[in-house]
Structure 1
């Protein structure tokens, strides 16, 4: 692939990291967009490959270690050819964004970020807050607990039910901790950019990819959106994304009973999905999960013994600074996208008896803040903490509205060459020409 790699004269290395169940080919069109703007003498492109396919089941930290190892190898290889990398950018798609954030922490701990100028850190449709659906009650247990156990170690981390090493906290919470090596490394990048789908992302919904406590896009008919100039009908203006229409409800047609009925109707896709996929899809999905979990467990044991060619001891640094793939993916996405997001209410305080004083006060504050604007989603306390930590990086957040196809997670990066993914090409053009710092 002629758009990959670059000339030894290139001093800027850009690393692209694919997502769950993915492979380097998924990042081809991002790479092509960058290459159309930056010649090989200016930008060197590396598509990370050691986490391909089922290897993404093995956990975010192992994925991050593999990517860090690839970066080190590539920089060494470039130097052996007479070149020298002085600038670094990293692009992560979906799970690859989380893997990249972990790799950044390792690069920071090893002193590599001190030897280069950190330019762009970018994510496309990355679930920064995990993939836990904002649900309460039994829905929380059916999806968030069961779903977490179908993707091996990565699943537990994505659903934030893991305990990372000796921290006693979920890995994603540690990744966003201001005192961690991960955030220390992230702060060194000049620009932090994210692109997030506002609708039709069946893998990672808006609140987590956009690092938000609310979701104002659940009723697009009530909004007048504002576009980025030159990128109409695809990318919303991040400074002023929308204006809400003032609706005057008809009391004869919008009674509380009707509203309750509409809420029940919204549950129908979930019930239909269960009815269709339980006999065929879910059984196949779960059987595949059992196989992949077993393979992942075996692979992790070999990896931990150093049999994958990575000397893991050099990456096991202190993390706190005190000093059937497409078919399986479709089943996961269909069930995941059937969940209706829920919101915090005053009476939810009784459900938080087990939380600490600080966490309860945080939930009260979130409810007060949501009264005058959008209702706050029923996120976990750790997710609110992640938002607070990540927002200190001053992300440039671009909401994306993919309308031609109901699979915006793949379309946002044009994961494959399909005419229906044409709106994603607009996103990639914007990134390469308007957002990427050379």
Structure 2
């Protein structure tokens, strides 16, 4: 990566972590914007690379350990050359934000934050609550259970069907446990900022990237977007992102016309999906099978200490107060086709017999608090607990509305330099001017 490194005079290290199926080049525009804002004498940049490509199938834990190793090695490299890093910032994109949160816990437990000050932690469209679609019944089982098995360990952890280290809880729930090293480490950062897409994100939708149990952006035709001054048409005002529109009168003829226009616009997509999805889906499943097999072998080597990392140095206790033993498009199309379900105050649907008393009480409280005009999403009990714990840390949350591209997940960080992704430059401008503390 051409923007890696910096002068020995720089006392601030910023680490960039890419996402699933990603590589360091995905963070090129972020690194380029950082370097344009801060010269080498002010900021040292490290774009993590040990987790690239198919290695991202191996899970958040292994990815976090790899990133932790890279950061420790970079700090030592700078020290050995006569430099001294006093401040550390970490930026995670998509899955990279979860990998970064795991690495932060390890850095905290290993005492690194006693030597360098954690300053900025920023995530761009990171699925903090996982990628489980809020749904119940057979829909829940078809996608949230079966779909989870197409991405090896990362898939199981993202869909929260894993059992982390025999705790009986998914890794993401442990990452958000207030007593864990991960939350203790995250709490030490001066500023926690996240950017979340409100539309056109086929990979990670608003509720999870924005750490929210409601979604006020499901139908933007019924609300008025309120933008931040100077960042119009892209970044919404987090204090008052939308306002309700006055209901407009409609006729049967107008409704029929609108439906015909919608069908006409969607016709090419329907035809294309009918032709290409069967072929693409088969290719996706075959590739997933191959990558899952390869990932299993890498995980086994990693656990045996044969992958270049002495794993015992990074399997630290995960609790502080209570110590216990320790093909992208196909996926996005399938993921984006899932409908979200909601809880309502009078809702008594669903079979909750498999939940314990605490989980049942959480759902009962959430149903009671659900508002008719903005109903609560049908999250799992542990996801509601995650929202509460993460929000207690304090986040600066910015909703982003990408208009020019139907692939806002990539556009928000300008993953490739092309005109359709140009609105991402406005997001990066806001982050560096308003949020990033040097």
After TM superposition, list the pairs within 5 Å mapping 1:310-321 onto structure 2.
Answer: 310-321=309-320
Equivalent pair of 1:119/1:437 in contact (CA under 8 Å)? yes
Partner of 1:87: 87
Shift in CA distance, 348/55, structure 1 to aligned 2, threshold 3 Å: farther
1:5 Cα shift? 0.9
Q: What is the rounded CA distance, in whole Å, between the counterparts of 1:184 and 1:277 in structure 2?
A: 47
1:50-90 CA-partner distances (Å, limit 9, x unpaired):
00000000010000000000000000000011001110000
Partner of 2:51: 51
1:142-177 CA-partner distances (Å, limit 9, x unpaired):
111111000000000000000000311000000000
1:241-263 CA-partner distances (Å, limit 9, x unpaired):
111113267798999xxxxxxxx
Shift in CA distance, 2/278, structure 1 to aligned 2, threshold 3 Å: closer
Q: What is the rounded CA distance, in whole Å, between the counterparts of 2:276 and 2:353 in structure 1?
A: 36
Q: 2:120 is paired with a residue of what secondary structure?
A: strand
1:109-165 CA-partner distances (Å, limit 9, x unpaired):
101011111100000000000001111111111111111000000000000000000
Partner of 1:240: 240
Partner of 1:141: 141
Shift in CA distance, 249/149, structure 1 to aligned 2, threshold 3 Å: farther
Q: What is the rounded CA distance, in whole Å, between the counterparts of 2:116 and 2:66 in structure 1?
A: 20
Q: What is the rounded CA distance, in whole Å, between the counterparts of 2:70 and 2:142 in structure 1?
A: 38
Equivalent pair of 2:60/2:157 in contact (CA under 8 Å)? yes
Matched, 1:344 2:346: no
1:283-313 CA-partner distances (Å, limit 9, x unpaired):
1100001100000001111111112211110
Partner of 2:379: 379
1:300-352 CA-partner distances (Å, limit 9, x unpaired):
111111122111100001101125xxxx1000001110111111243445522
Matched, 1:105 2:80: no
1:275 Cα shift? 4.4
Matched, 1:227 2:227: yes
TM-score by length of 2: 0.92
Partner of 1:188: 188
Q: What is the rounded CA distance, in whole Å, between the counterparts of 1:269 and 1:108 in structure 2?
A: 52
Q: What is the rounded CA distance, in whole Å, between the counterparts of 1:223 and 1:269 in structure 2?
A: 28
1:3 Cα shift? 2.6
Equivalent pair of 1:224/1:242 in contact (CA under 8 Å)? yes
- 5+ residue gaps, structure 2: 256-266
TM-score by length of 1: 0.92
Q: What is the rounded CA distance, in whole Å, between the counterparts of 1:248 and 1:418 in structure 2?
A: 38
Q: What is the rounded CA distance, in whole Å, between the counterparts of 1:402 and 1:94 in structure 2?
A: 16
Shift in CA distance, 404/314, structure 1 to aligned 2, threshold 3 Å: same
- Count of paired positions: 423
Shift in CA distance, 331/81, structure 1 to aligned 2, threshold 3 Å: same
Partner of 1:292: 291
1:214-261 CA-partner distances (Å, limit 9, x unpaired):
111111011111111111100001111111113267798999xxxxxx
Q: 2:15 is paired with a residue of what secondary structure?
A: strand
Q: What is the rounded CA distance, in whole Å, between the counterparts of 2:313 and 2:254 in structure 1?
A: 62
Equivalent pair of 2:13/2:43 in contact (CA under 8 Å)? yes
Compare 223-232 and 121-130 and name the one that shifted more.
Answer: 223-232
Equivalent pair of 1:105/1:184 in contact (CA under 8 Å)? yes
Q: What is the rounded CA distance, in whole Å, between the counterparts of 1:382 and 1:251 in structure 2?
A: 45
Matched, 1:164 2:164: yes
- 5+ residue gaps, structure 1: 256-267
Q: 1:31 is paired with a residue of what secondary structure?
A: helix
Shift in CA distance, 377/115, structure 1 to aligned 2, threshold 3 Å: same
After TM superposition, list the pairs within 5 Å mapping 1:16-415 onto structure 2.
Answer: 16-247=16-247, 275-276=274-275, 279-322=278-321, 328-345=327-344, 346-348=346-348, 350-371=350-371, 373-415=373-415
Q: What is the rounded CA distance, in whole Å, between the counterparts of 1:274 and 1:141 in structure 2?
A: 23
Compare 110-119 and 344-353 and name the one that shifted more.
Answer: 344-353
1:34 Cα shift? 1.1
Q: What is the rounded CA distance, in whole Å, between the counterparts of 1:392 and 1:24 in structure 2?
A: 32
Equivalent pair of 1:349/1:360 in contact (CA under 8 Å)? no
Q: 1:90 is paired with a residue of what secondary structure?
A: strand
Q: 2:377 is paired with a residue of what secondary structure?
A: coil
Partner of 2:259: none
Partner of 1:15: 15
Partner of 2:258: none
1:372 Cα shift? 5.1
Q: What is the rounded CA distance, in whole Å, between the counterparts of 1:40 and 1:278 in structure 2?
A: 47
1:30 Cα shift? 0.6
